[in-house]
A and B are shown apart, each in its own frame.
Chain A
Amino acid sequence: MWSYEKRLQFPVNIKEPDAKLAQIIISQFGGPDGELSASMRYLSQRYTMPYKEVAGLLTDIGTEELAHMEIISAIIYQLTKNLSMEEIKESGFDKYYVDHTLGLWPQAAGGIPFNTCEFQVKGDAITDLTEDMAAEQKARSTYDNILRLVKNPDVCAPIRFLREREIVHFQRFGEGLRLVQEKLDSKNFYAFNPEFDKCKDCGDK
């Protein structure tokens, strides 16, 4: 269950459209390390996560990622609002425009459509949380790259906020992984998969 609030987690107020910038930032909507990918990764992984603290963490971070997708979408929407035909042609936005006009469609900066192969649900607590930590760092690197390309302060402010959240979520997933490991055999964390294998002395202690 979810409920919606009509506000962004971080305000977005862009004064000047910039279709070139929009084509870069769209990667954090539908690209390999984008916010859509992040939310779907965590919200899909949580069902078989055997420890309820960690399943709760996946739910809450997955939910925050939906709010981040909305911030990124608001940035793209405002950067492409009221574009003239000339601006569309000059900025190279014409290739996107021909298929989607000014509508928002999840794709990577290189034009590759959003694909669930960009994330994994392995059904193994250690594997999935390790993927989640890597995902947060990959998104952080993408935001670092965006910040090197962007000078507009209206765009930088929400991007910096999102970058910081990647670092915090990396920390939280690390703590989630530690919680999982504490419940496993300290001599061999890989003795069994707590999301699949059943044994008398293992699992949710």
Chain B
Amino acid sequence: MTEKEQMFYDIGIVDFVVVELTEFLDVHPDCAEALEYFKHYSKIRNQMVEEFSQKYFPISVNHADCSKEWTWGAAPLPWENCPCAADVLQDKSGSCETCKMREGGC
């Protein structure tokens, strides 16, 4: 897995934690432990999205640097297959961590 793919995959994991904690805190607003986790992971999540967007492509329009060109429109669409999917077929195990973990273009 390339660094780009790894970062993109990691954002998915950390964001999932934030989604899960958000829904938990909605109905357990006084849970200090969950709040600590939320603070920790939402900070990491935001840093990761910011860093990825600067390095590769903007994940949201708020993270797009469009001072020179329309980079938001150039970002890959998340429902498209990973172009490296062809490599997977050659993988003996029949599954490729790279592609399984990919969303959007490579």
Contacts and interface: CB of A to CB of B under 8 A. Distances in A.
Q: Which 3 residue pairs across A and B have the least CB separation, nearest first?
A: A74-B79, A11-B103, A57-B26
A8 B61 contact: no
A9 B12 contact: yes
Given A9-B16, A157-B100, A60 B22 contact: yes
A30 to B, nearest CB: 17
Q: Is the interface of A mostly helix, strand, loop or mixed?
A: helix
B81 A7 contact: no
Nearest to B96: A13
A132 to B, nearest CB: 13
Contact of A73 (B60, B79, B85, B88): B79
Contact of A6 (B59, B82, B99): B59
16 contacts: A5-B60, A6-B57, A6-B77, A9-B15, A9-B19, A10-B12, A13-B100, A13-B102, A15-B88, A54-B26, A57-B27, A60-B23, A77-B79, A78-B81, A154-B100, A175-B28
Contacts of A81: 81
A12 interface: yes
Interface residues of A, number: 35
Nearest to A76: B79
Interface string B30-51: 0000000000000000000000
B100 A172 contact: no
Contacts of B20: 168
Interface residues of B, number: 39
Interface of B: 8-9, 11-12, 15-16, 19-20, 22-24, 26-29, 57-62, 75-79, 81-82, 85, 88-89, 94-95, 99-104
User: Could you say which of B76, B94, B103 has the most chain A C-beta atoms within 10 Å of its C-beta?
Assistant: B103
Contacts of A168: 20, 23
Contacts of A60: 19, 22-23, 26
A74 B28 contact: no
A175 B28 CA distance: 9
Contacts of B100: 11, 13, 154, 157
B18 to A, nearest CB: 11
A153 interface: yes
A11 B12 contact: yes
A7 B78 contact: yes
A56 B81 CA distance: 34
B99 A13 contact: yes
A4 B73 CA distance: 13
B78 A8 contact: yes
Nearest to A59: B26
A179 interface: yes
Nearest to B24: A172
Nearest to A55: B26
A61 interface: yes
Contact of B60 (A6, A53, A56, A169): A6
